[in-house]
Structure 1
């Protein structure tokens, strides 16, 4: 039997269905599709591992990992020629990320709303890093006594890199002799890009005074 190619084992895309099921798009000749096709009782135990990598260059770039264990079945009719959609029904979920490590309730996952910034986070972080690095650096002024903990040996501030962004705030990683993450909360949760611009302006203004 020929060894499976890497692209046959990694989904081309993934999304979450209305009932919390995870829909995974694979090449039609993927061993995953073949196994799901021949599984007895239409149930194939499986574990999906997801690695979240920061979209900007920063030490310790992996922001988190998630594991979803459940059962795979085929979902015919949801993919075009040459592809097959596979449905993963979650049984257990576990997340280990910047906010901590904990299990996730399957029902809570099914009813959770996606963060309104998730589709734009990569672009926004890269823009902050390339076009507003000085303003991001100035956020160190909001850390109070903690700012001394991240200074270089000569007293200069450590480099600041925007690490994560969601509707509640911005996380920045300060890198130097040691790494230090700081969370800057927005005055209120944002719901769109317009609200984000206002929230970021408020943060930058507070840091510059």
Structure 2
């Protein structure tokens, strides 16, 4: 078993006993902003070795080296601490949730907005009322089917986030252009 991960070695020694495990996932903003970590999630549960699987199939899918060990995490609890707050998430609800339609496009769109439309993103601060100011810098931070979140900074004050909801949820990436134009038009008024 040389060359295997510490988790695989521990699972081998545990044999059929439960091996407690925690996986921490960190979500980092794909653009340069102060405090780039958007959130963290912790999955706790038990690792077990998967026996009797077709190694050729799983090896090709997972990039497994010959002789490696396939592990399964049985999730017991999920905790999330992100831009919206901290809470527990039901593992079954997460497993059955539909992915956001923009999940595969978020990084590219945020980087594009930051590089090519920084002025238009900054214009959104006009929608903040008293919190908006001429000296405010705005950078796109997060994007999902419901809206856009930006991080605002000004000299001498702490950064803050502002969320701008789309008029209707975006169902596919093609709807995003219309939703963004609606936001930018509202800021131009």
Shared fold (TM-score, shorter chain, > 0.5)? yes
Q: Counterpart in 2 of 1:114?
A: 99
Tell me, in whole angstroms, the C-alpha distance in 2 between the residues paired with 1:85 and 1:133. 45
Quote how far apart the aligned CAs of 1:99 are.
0.4
Corresponding residue SS for 1:178? strand
1:69-148 matched pairs, under 5 angstroms: 69-75=44-50, 76=53, 77=55, 78-80=58-60, 81-82=64-65, 84-147=69-132
Match for residue 172 of structure 1?
150
2:175 alignment counterpart? 195
Counterpart secondary structure, 2:122: helix
Counterpart CA distance in 2 for 1:197 and 1:84 is 45
1:186/1:45 CA distance change after superposition, 3 Å: same
Q: CA deviation at 1:182?
A: 0.4
| Partner residue, 1:52 | 27
Q: What is the distance in 1 between the residues matched to 2:111 and 2:139? A: 10
Shift of 1:37: 2.8
Moved over 6 A (4+): none
1:163 equivalenced with 2:163 (yes/no) = no
Query: What's the CA shift string for 1:18-54, capped at 9, x where partnerless?
Result: xxxxxxxxxx611212222332325311000111111
Count of aligned pairs between the two proteins: 176
Give deviations 1:106-163, integer Å, cap 9, x for gaps.
221121111111111111111110011110000011112221xxx3xxxx33110000
Q: TM-score when scaled to structure 2?
A: 0.86
Contact kept, 8 Å, 2:16 with 2:48, in 1: the verdict is no
Deviation at 1:105, TM superposition (A): 1.3
Query: What TM-score does the superposition give when structure 1 sets the normalisation length?
Result: 0.78
Unaligned runs of 5+ in 2: none
